[in-house]
Amino acid sequence: MARYTGPVGKVSRRLGIGITEKGQRILTRRPFPPGQHGPSAKRRQVSDYGLQLQEKQKAKYMYGVLERQFRRTFEQAARRSGVTGEYLLSLLERRLDNVVYRLGLATTRAQARQLVNHGHIVVDGRKTSIPSFTVKVGQVIAVRPESRRRTYFKNLVDSGVLNKHRAPDWLRLDAANLSGTVVALPRREDAEAGINEQLIVEFYSR
């Protein structure tokens, strides 16, 4: 499946927010836009369109979604009654790769996407290898029984890392069984901080 494979540091510095943990570390060391002028570069005044585009780019890069798929997700949110921006973030949070990440079964969304792509994850007992799959309340996400013998997952259990992991309130983690249950829909505060979803709505409503 297509995914962004470019430099996360440059993107994080350009957007002013860490799109991954690595991006945040780079941004902390160099909190200025990329380019030859470095910290002395003057930021241009950003237009309303520029601000809207920037917010869309933040969400897109943070959740690891490419442009066409992000637009489809927005259109799905727009068709639903209610607050479009909040439902957009809810859909992004309920992507299977994000749920695997939120449960602590992966340390990054990119790793979670890889685990899903390689068939290590099951939803309600059925192998699901589509990272964009949208989970529903009541569904159980787990590591496939055949995959639990792999060193990576054995270490997750033996090290006790999962026992210390705090999953968001809308997910219930069963660390011993390498699984989790969707117990509610994610709320706005459960999504990534630093994203102004209203600007994304305005961007697509032009």
Compute the average pLDDT of residues 82-111: 96
CATH of domain 8-92+193-204: 1.10.1050.10
Alpha-carbon gap, residue 187 to 128, rounded angstroms: 25
Burial class (CB in 10 A: 0-12, 13-18, 19+), 67: exposed
What pLDDT score was predicted for residue 40? 56
What pLDDT score was predicted for residue 7? 63
pLDDT per residue over 46-74, tens digit each?
Answer: 789 989 999 999 999 989 999 999 999 99
For the beta carbon of residue 117, count every other beta carbon within 10 angstroms: 15
Residue 2 has pLDDT above 90, yes or no: no
How confident is the prediction for the chain on average, in pLDDT?
Answer: 87
pLDDT per residue over 182-203, tens digit each?
Answer: 999 999 999 988 899 999 999 9
Compute the average pLDDT of residues 4-18: 62
Superfamily of domain 95-182: RNA-binding S4 domain (3.10.290.10)
Long-range contacts of 106-114 (CB under 8 A, 24+ apart): 108/20, 108/21, 109/20, 109/63, 109/64, 110/3, 110/20, 110/64, 113/1, 113/3, 113/64
Residue 107 has pLDDT above 60, yes or no: yes
If DSSP codes are grouped into helix, strand and coil, which group holds residue 116? helix
What pLDDT score was predicted for residue 9? 64
Q: Where in the chain is the domain with CATH 3.10.290.10?
A: 95-182
What pLDDT score was predicted for residue 5? 61
Q: What is the pTM of this model?
A: 0.83
